[in-house]
Chain A
């Protein structure tokens, strides 16, 4: 039994007796499940004619089978929806698909044969081949969809849809489906075999009062919405290519696994154009970093001439250059970027302060300073040129990630949902009249966190938002009053018993210890808020929120080399948004 999800299908040969179907390519593998029965069908495109062939496949017995009329109609329906959706990254467009659906609905399918409508050929028959299966979607619990359809191509899952029935018994479990959870779909067959595929839920929508629709795809699908800038390269090895492309799109290094190709460390020369920096004469050096102006740079490094992209670099007059060791070109760029940014920060420190030189100046000379320096803002641009000193790799590229379609579409659906949240307007009114509590500060910082591109900024903003949120939460005393009283007395006697505790020291100790005893820690406050407002945040989600708190502590206390999981930040922001919303609702009555 072959797994229906396997990409092995795309590397297999399908042989038909008919000459027409000799030169073909498998483009889609569609899995269609409805009420305990599953159909698998394959869509081929003919290479020499603009035709498509649709057949059924029995993956249990590895046989090509024909499709029944109802199945054909349903599958064509789904294909029509898919080709018109934004998940159609293949840009597949099959003309007359809607007409084909009508045609097959009207006509009969009897004997096993190829039924043609314009450019669609379907292998159909009246016999019904049934593969029974149980389907389960796991996300915050198990859910059995009444219908699910998955579209695969060679690179994996393109698009998927599942319909969940909404009724009294299922409503609570459907509410547990969360954006931040990981999702998987499991198909179990009679012979105790089951296949599972991991998916990402992209959309959730109520189709009607008793159907909830989930739209799924894979994380690689997002790449089509992210555009990279200029990318010119020569002689790159595979690690460099893949890291340069995927890391720019947002993948982390440990998510990339390339097998069969060795890595090796080499020294790399990195040149990064600097914005808002002018070097009139000579060059500036800081450590093993040098800053050059354009003429100087191009006279030093000849290979830059071939890769120099006129329009992109025209605006830059200064460049930072350094040498690093790394095992691929993108890591070399990242390491060099950190170094060069640090060098610029140090130079800026000197120029933005009027008293730095005077403090160390032992002569009668005073150094010049200028207020205009406060507004000058040199920084590394997103472009980079990297060259392997020992090998032949060269690249000029732009590391800016451009996501298309970042406009919010204020369509009637959103408008309708906003109208239902009446307390939004009431609370907003309070904010306009300046009688609102900390909740709007908390909201401001949460949105800043969503907007920030740098994950360290996100963490700090999320934590500020959290602190504003629980500012006024009153909890039970952290320790019972009697215990605190007893401890105070014991402490007093200890402090009075030894000479080492002078009056001054006694005061300091009392200040530091007694104050902290009665204030509950932040965690207790947050937990109290969650239980008071009855917010359905699971333990898993709370732990992730608290991970983000520990990232903040590490950042603020200067511990470097954090291993930050961006997923935790996402879950924390979602949880925080939920808390704020519940708090807004709770304050409505105030």
Chain B
């Protein structure tokens, strides 16, 4: 049973990235930064960063700007103190520059990956093992046969309906607004869905690389008996619902939104956490943590080949 899809290969890429010079440098700087800030400041900063996680590496800069803005508008002394500490931290500023540059390079390389076989670029891929993982990502991304799909349906995409949809849609793929728009469309719904899915692949690849780079992802091992989990399917989407009876606190276990599900040390699924909840039952009763994860399709090979009906 094959176990790799586009997002899983992005996960492996990021794991390799942590060990290789540029990526390792950033990884170490991240932890140094954590040590140089007080724990209150760090947790507020991370929260702010996670608001902008869909902008991946730029979120460090955006998170900082967010706090800056908030501290000016808000009257609480606490936030102002946090901002002051951040402002005076040199490491933070150099880290922000570093990640901004890195984010730009990675985005540039990703655009190249979408259009042709990537070359070994000495700026980003200064190690061959990292380059090989990037080539794997290239293979899995294109195995979805997105280009064949776009090529075959060229005519549909110049239609007015799709054109309007592209203009009106929100940035976040499959958001409720976008889904409403699609439901309103009279025809070409499948094509719009396909475009949304492509956006998912594109954006989530970068997001997952970012999160894994900084250990923000949640790793769950199914062989762990603390869990009780159930897989559901709603329309075309798969959901994973986890319940843990002990104080397995999902909320504090990870800062990011991605969850990687393992079985026997092999990655089985990748998904994004859509709901976290802790239920406190009563006095002396144990709390129940629930986690809902929407899963990326396990096998995305040739996923863009479907009946256009």
Contact = CB atoms under 8 A, between A and B. Distances in A.
How many of chain A's residues touch chain B, expressed as a range? 20 to 34
A390 B116 CA distance: 10
Interface stretch (B141-149, B159-167, B225-233): B141-149
Contacts of B120: 288
A267 B136 CA distance: 13
Nearest to B1: A299
Contact of A391 (B1, B2, B135, B148): B148
Interface in A247-306: 267, 269, 285-288, 290, 298-303, 305
Interface in A289-329: 290, 298-303, 305, 323, 325
A325 B106 CA distance: 23
Contacts of A179: none
B142 A290 contact: no
Contacts of B116: 267
A287 B136 CA distance: 13
B2 A302 contact: yes
B78 interface: no
B132 A299 contact: no
Interface in B1-37: 1-4
B132 A288 contact: yes
A305 B3 CA distance: 13
Given A301-B2, A302-B2, A285 B129 contact: yes
Contacts of B139: 269, 323, 389
Contact of A323 (B1, B117, B128): B117
A364 B148 CA distance: 57
B301 interface: yes
Interface string B245-274: 000000000000000000000000000000
Interface in B84-99: none
Contact of A389 (B4, B128, B143): B143
A372 interface: no
A458 B105 CA distance: 50
Contacts of B1: 299
B131 interface: yes
B60 interface: no
Contacts of A302: 2, 299, 301
B45 interface: no
Contacts of B128: 285-288
B58 interface: no
A438 B143 CA distance: 61
26 contacts: A267-B116, A267-B138, A267-B142, A285-B128, A285-B129, A285-B132, A287-B128, A288-B120, A288-B128, A288-B131, A288-B132, A288-B135, A298-B2, A299-B1, A302-B299, A302-B301, A303-B301, A323-B135, A323-B138, A323-B139, A325-B117, A389-B138, A389-B139, A389-B143, A390-B142, A392-B148
B148 A390 contact: yes
Nearest to A391: B148
Nearest to B120: A288
Nearest to B2: A302
Contacts of A392: 145, 148
A322 to B, nearest CB: 9
Contact of B2 (A286, A300, A389, A390): A300
Nearest to A267: B117
Contacts of B147: 390
Given A267-B138, A285-B128, A298-B2, 19 more contacts: A269-B139, A288-B120, A288-B128, A288-B132, A290-B132, A299-B1, A299-B3, A299-B4, A300-B4, A301-B2, A302-B2, A305-B2, A323-B135, A389-B138, A389-B143, A390-B145, A390-B147, A390-B148, A392-B145
A299 B117 contact: no
Nearest to B4: A300
Contacts of A390: 142, 145, 147-148
Most B CB within 10 A of own CB, among A269, A302, A305, A392: A302
Nearest to B143: A389
A106 B4 CA distance: 79
A332 to B, nearest CB: 12
Contacts of A287: 128
A299 B2 CA distance: 4
A299 B136 CA distance: 13
Closest 10 CB pairs of A and B: A302-B2, A267-B117, A389-B142, A285-B132, A299-B3, A390-B147, A390-B142, A323-B135, A290-B132, A285-B129
Q: Which interface residue of A269, A288, A298 has the most chain B CB atoms within 10 A?
A: A288
A390 B129 CA distance: 23
A301 B117 CA distance: 18
Contacts of B4: 299-300
A302 B301 CA distance: 9
A422 B129 CA distance: 66
A11 B190 CA distance: 47
Interface in A189-215: none
Contacts of B131: 288
Nearest to A324: B117
Contacts of B145: 390, 392
Nearest to B305: A392
A325 B138 CA distance: 13
Contacts of A389: 138-139, 142-143
Contacts of A391: 148
Contacts of B299: 302
A389 B116 CA distance: 11
Interface in B269-309: 299, 301
A286 B128 CA distance: 7
Interface string B142-158: 11010110000000000
A323 B132 CA distance: 10
Nearest to A389: B142
Interface string A444-479: 000000000000000000000000000000000000
A484 B301 CA distance: 77
Contacts of A288: 120, 128, 131-132, 135
B258 to A, nearest CB: 21
A172 B145 CA distance: 67
A290 B143 CA distance: 19
A392 B145 CA distance: 9
Contacts of A300: 2, 4, 136
A271 to B, nearest CB: 11
Contacts of A290: 132
A242 B136 CA distance: 29
- Choose among B3, B138, B139 the residue with the greatest number of A CB atoms under 10 Å from its CB: B139
A301 B4 CA distance: 8
Contacts of B129: 285
A170 to B, nearest CB: 62
B133 to A, nearest CB: 9
Nearest to A305: B2
Nearest to A298: B2
